[in-house]
Each structure stands twice: as structure tokens, then as C-alpha cells.
């Protein structure tokens, strides 16, 4: 079994919980409340900014031009293509994406950002990949899961979102598969301790993916933010 197969197997219970989450169910059946959409897009915009910085950190730790090129393409994709998904959500909720760009980090977004940035700062390339992969992987799985369960997306309000993530990446290999391939390559030269650490990093990101849906659906903010402006 490859290292990535082992990680996917361990994360399976989290993935199943994500499929059942009311936010994801709301995308699937088109009933997602406007307040949840607004909170999600605001936080996700900030989250993706951090994601771009992790790719940049990965470039600083790259040893080949091929790796550098791969990460710079991901930066471009995140900055210029992933907005399709946000646009779709905003259209459905009659929100302007431009007005959602000035939010402040809610606790879960802060925690997830810190977790990934820590890998970029202190980790190996194996750790960086392990921390990054749950982001494209779980969304790709969600997209496919909804597409498999929905006979036709004709007229579905979240069609663009579902298809964008369900078909995530290039035609021959999706981002997640490509990242897993790179992870397995790095895993080959790693010690048992390094693999155990990378596994923890990966599973923590998977849990944080679930928490991101939870935070967005219930709009979980800093406890005292309404009283004292903390962020
Ligand atoms: C929190 C989160 N995780 C994953 C993705 C998909 N790139 C996203 N947009 N936001």
C-alpha cells in the first residue's frame, strides 16, 4: 500500500462526516442559507490567501525547477480560477464578492492557516504536501460524491461549484492525484518518524476541513468579538 493510500484510509471516517455535514448537504440539495454562504466566502477568501503563501513557501524549499513550476501553476490557479466557485456561491446568495474580501479571520480559519504556515516554515517538503493535500482532495471528493448522487445538475443553483471541484485539475491528472503522487515520491526516502509526523499533519488538516464547514454553517466567530473587537 502506498503512503497516500494509507493516509486516505485513515481519513475515511472524516470524509464520511464531511459528506454528511449540513453545509455540504446544503450545497448538494441547493438549500444552503445565505448567512452560511456569506461567512464561508469571507473566510475562504482569507484561507486561500494563506494557501497561496504556503505554495510560495514550497517553492523556497523546492530543489528542482519542475517542482517550482508546479507550485507556481497552483498559485495561479488559486488566484485566478478558484474564484469561479466563490462567484457561484455569491450569485446564489445575491452577494457581491468584492464586499466580502475585507473580513477578519475567525478562529477555525486562524487555526487552519497557522497549521499550514507552520509546515511551510518549519517542515520538510513531505510535511508541506501532507498539510496542503486535504484542501484539494476533500473538495474533489465532495464534488465527485455530489455528482454521483445527482442524476442531472441542469438548473442546480450550485452547478458551477459542484462541477468545478468534481472535475478539479487538469484532464489527465487532478491536482489531488498529482499532489499525492509527489507525496509518495518524498515518502520513499523518509524515515518512520518522518512518515508518522506527516500523517499527523495530514489528518489534522482533514479535521480542520470538517471544522471549516462547521464554522461556516454556524458562523462561529471569536466569543467576545461582539463585545470587544478582538479581530
Ligand atoms: C477551507 C478550504 N479547503 C479547500 C478548498 C478547496 N481549494 C477551499 N477553497 N477552502
Instruction: Report DSSP letters for 114-136, one per residue.
Output: HHHHHHHHHS-HHHHHHHHTHHH
Predicted interface score ipTM higher than 0.95: yes
Residue 54 lies in a domain: yes
Find the domain containing 181 and state its range: 3-216
Q: How far is the CA of 31 from the centre of ligand 1 (A)?
A: 20
Q: How far is the CA of 154 from the centre of ligand 1 (A)?
A: 24
What pLDDT is attached to residue 229?
73
Q: How far is the CA of 140 from the centre of ligand 1 (A)?
A: 10
Mean pLDDT over all residues of the chain?
95
Q: How far is the CA of 136 from the centre of ligand 1 (A)?
A: 7
Measured from the CB, is residue 46 less than 6 Å from ligand 1?
Answer: no
What pLDDT is attached to residue 170?
66
- Residue among 23, 48, 174 whose CB has most ligand 1 atoms within 8 A, to mutate: 48
Residue 225 lies in a domain: no
Integer CA distances (angstroms), 93 to 17, 124, 193, in order: 25, 41, 47
Measured from the CB, is residue 136 less than 6 Å from ligand 1?
Answer: yes
pLDDT tens sequence across 109-127: 999 999 999 999 999 999 9
Residue 224 lies in a domain: no
90-94, 139-143, 171-175, range with the lowest pLDDT:
171-175
* Mean pLDDT (whole number) for 167-191: 89
Residue 59 lies in a domain: yes
Residue 227 lies in a domain: no
* Mean pLDDT (whole number) for 156-169: 93
Q: Which protein residue's CA is at the shortest distance from atom 5 of ligand 1? A: 135
Share of the chain above pLDDT 70, in %: 98
Domain count, the chain: 1
Residue 108 belongs to a domain with what CATH number? 1.20.910.10
Q: How far is the CA of 209 from the centre of ligand 1 (A)?
A: 8
Residue 231 lies in a domain: no
Residue 228 lies in a domain: no
Which residues contact residue 46 at a Cβ distance below 8 angstroms, ignoring those fewer than 6 apart?
103, 105, 109, 113
The yes-or-no verdict on residue 171 having pLDDT over 80 is no
pLDDT tens sequence across 8-66: 999 999 999 999 999 999 999 999 999 999 999 999 999 999 999 999 999 999 999 99
Which residues contact residue 3 at a Cβ distance below 8 angstroms, ignoring those fewer than 6 apart?
183, 184, 187, 195, 198
Amino acid at each position: 500500500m502506498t503512503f497516500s493510500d494509507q493516509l486516505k484510509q485513515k481519513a475515511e471516517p472524516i470524509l464520511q462526516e464531511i459528506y454528511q455535514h449540513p453545509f455540504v448537504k446544503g450545497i448538494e440539495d441547493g438549500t444552503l442559507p445565505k448567512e452560511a454562504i456569506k461567512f464561508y466566502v469571507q473566510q475562504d477568501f482569507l484561507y486561500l490567501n494563506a494557501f497561496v503563501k504556503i505554495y510560495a513557501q514550497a517553492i523556497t524549499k523546492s530543489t528542482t525547477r519542475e517542482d517550482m513550476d508546479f507550485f507556481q501553476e497552483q498559485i495561479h490557479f488559486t488566484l485566478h480560477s478558484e474564484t469561479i466557485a466563490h462567484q457561484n456561491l455569491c450569485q446564489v446568495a445575491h452577494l457581491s464578492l468584492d464586499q466580502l474580501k475585507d473580513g477578519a479571520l475567525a478562529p477555525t480559519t486562524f487555526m487552519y492557516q497557522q497549521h499550514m504556515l507552520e509546515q511551510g516554515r518549519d517542515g520538510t517538503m513531505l510535511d508541506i504536501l501532507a498539510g496542503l493535500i486535504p484542501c484539494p482532495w476533500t473538495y474533489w471528493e465532495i464534488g465527485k460524491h455530489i455528482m454521483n448522487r445527482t442524476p442531472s445538475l441542469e438548473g442546480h443553483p450550485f452547478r458551477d461549484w459542484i462541477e468545478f471541484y468534481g472535475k478539479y485539475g487538469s484532464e489527465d491528472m487532478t491536482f489531488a492525484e498529482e499532489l499525492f503522487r509527489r507525496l509518495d515520491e518524498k515518502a520513499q526516502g523518509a524515515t518512520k518518524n518522518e512518515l508518522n509526523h506527516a500523517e499527523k499533519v495530514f489528518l489534522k488538516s482533514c479535521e480542520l476541513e470538517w471544522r471549516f464547514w462547521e464554522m461556516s454553517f454556524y458562523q462561529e466567530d471569536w466569543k467576545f468579538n461582539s463585545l470587544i473587537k478582538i479581530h
